[in-house]
Structure 1
Amino acid sequence: MSREWILPTLGAFISWGLWSFIPKITTQYIKPKSAIIYEVMGMMILGIIILFSLQFEVETHPKGILLAIITGILGFLGAFCFLNAVSKGPVTLVATVSALYPLVSVVLAILILGETLTVKQIIGVGLAVFAMILITA
């Protein structure tokens, strides 16, 4: 099996780890509604860089565009909810509980995409749920 997914996955791991920590400090200086605007500005900067790297030749497909826009809306909504949560609660709990969002992806992948889990993976998912219960209790 190809392991090409490992490096970008580690990149996401590190980026999202920092992404979930820095807002706790940010919201000590500005409110979540202001912070989200600056986060979007950061995304736009990277988006423009990627647009230039594509030489302004962006792929188009109506379903792909719609799904990408929905994904952007959901990402924004999640980030805004996270900013509000971390401004009111401890980053140790907010980051840990919200970082278990892949459980939603796993359930949807099984129900909609027909993906399967091995017994070991099912145990891992169960432990993640158990961890959430322990952390929030």
Structure 2
Amino acid sequence: MSKEWILPTLGALIFWGFWGFIPKITTQYIEPKSAIVYEVIGAMIVGMIVLFSLQFQPDTHPKGIVLAITTGMLGLLGAFCFLNAVSKGAVVLVSTLSALYPVVTICLATFILGETISIQQGVGIALAVLAIILITA
């Protein structure tokens, strides 16, 4: 099995780690509604760099476009909720609880895509749910 997924996964880990930390400091200076506007500008900068790398010719399949736009909207709504949460609560708790979003993803992948979960993975998910209970108690 190819291990080409490891480096980008580590990149996501690092980028999302900073993504979860910086908003706590940001919301000490500006309100979450303003912060989300500047986050969009940051996302647009990255998007423009990628668009240049594609020589302004991204794929144009209608379903793919709708799904990608939906993903962007969901991601931004999640970021906005996160900004509001860290502006009112401890980043240690907010980041830990929100970082358990893969439980939702795993459930969707299992029920909609028919992906399977091993017993070991199921135990891990159960422990993540237990972590939610312990963190919020």
Name the TM tier (shorter chain): over 0.9
1:116 aligns with 2:116: yes
1:39 aligns with 2:39: yes
1:106 counterpart residue number: 106
Alignment of 1:78-89 (within 5 A): 78-89=78-89
Cα deviation, residue 94, structure 1: 0.3
1:77 counterpart residue number: 77
Runs of 4+ aligned residues of structure 1 deviating over 3 Å after TM superposition are none
Q: Quick one: percent identity of the two aligned structures?
A: 72
TM-score, normalised via structure 1 length: 0.98
Amino acid at match of 2:53: S
Amino acid at match of 2:77: L
Structure 1: runs of 5+ lacking an equivalent: none
Structure 2: runs of 5+ lacking an equivalent: none
Cα deviation, residue 57, structure 1: 1.0
1:90 counterpart residue number: 90
The 1-side partners of 2:136 and 2:15 are apart by: 24
The 2-side partners of 1:90 and 1:34 are apart by: 20
Q: What is the number of residues matched between the two proteins?
A: 137
TM-score, normalised via structure 2 length: 0.98
Q: CA RMSD in A?
A: 0.6
